[in-house]
Structure 1
Amino acid sequence: MSRVGKLLSWIFLTPLVLGLILFAASNRADVVLRLWPFDYELTTPVALVGVGGLFLGFLWGAVMVWISGGVARGRARREAHRAEGAEKEVLRLKTDVEMLEEKLRAADAKAKSASLPVPASDTQTSGSRHIL
């Protein structure tokens, strides 16, 4: 993390933590939580209910963002798969080109070694026509 990022995190997190500490310290009274359809009661400090509600809201928001990003993650996965396939195809085509270039060099070398013999001299001329 860069220095600016660390500084910004300290600037935002410090007041948040201090606010939570002050909230918890000033709300120490107990509250009774009842789960309506059942006969269950829980006595807990108000601060725990408030901070717990904030935490559950944070978790709910994180899950919703994760679910809504599913389409983008799927698209990214498909594009990564397509890119991997394209890279394999490029590698295969490069191999094919190298193989064909090697065949071409071999054919050129064979053609040079099997070239026609050089004519001996111009002694076989009859008049103005050359016989080769």
Structure 2
Amino acid sequence: MLRLLKVLILLPITAILVVFAVSNRQSAVVSLWPLPYEIATPVFFLVLAPLILGVLLGGAAAWLAGGKSRRLARERARQIRTLEKAATTLPAVLS
């Protein structure tokens, strides 16, 4: 169900981005002001590159912020395995 919802959300967004990229193929000149360089690049790149960079940086920030939770989950999983192992050996010890 969640996968279907993801597809229903991402498919229109992808279609809109593709149409945007195809519609904005003309070049724009980007001047790197203090330097004497100029770069001719498509307009869609000037919009989509910062968008993609923002998604990547946001994902990295979210991943880093979740580090404490992931560490706690690993520790708890390790504790569960230890307790399950102790619970399986307990009947042999009691008899």
Pair in the same fold by TM > 0.5: yes
Q: Cα 1:12–1:96, aligned 2, differ >3 Å: closer, same or farther? A: same
Query: In the alignment, is residue 48 of structure 1 matched against residue 45 of structure 2?
Result: yes
Query: In the alignment, is residue 19 of structure 1 matched against residue 28 of structure 2?
Result: no
CA RMSD of superposed structures (Å): 2.3
Q: What secondary structure does 1:28 align onto?
A: coil
Encode CA deviations 1:92-128: one digit per residue, 9 max, x unaligned: 322212xxx3xxxxxxxxxxxxxxxxxxxxxxxxxxx
Encode CA deviations 1:26-78: one digit per residue, 9 max, x unaligned: 22222233556766543210101211111111111110110111010010011
Number of aligned residue pairs: 95
Instruction: Give the gaps of 5 or more residues in structure 1.
Output: 102-132
> Quick one: distance in 2 between partners of 1:9 and 1:40?
42
Output the TM-score relative to the length of structure 2: 0.78
Alignment of structure 1 residues 41-120 onto 2, 5 Å: 41-97=38-94, 101=95
Instruction: Give the gaps of 5 or more residues in structure 2.
Output: none
Q: Which has the larger radius of gyration?
A: 1
Asked which structure has the greater RCO (Cα within 8 Å, sep 6+), the reply is 2
> Quick one: distance in 1 between partners of 2:92 and 2:38?
73
Output the TM-score relative to the length of structure 1: 0.59
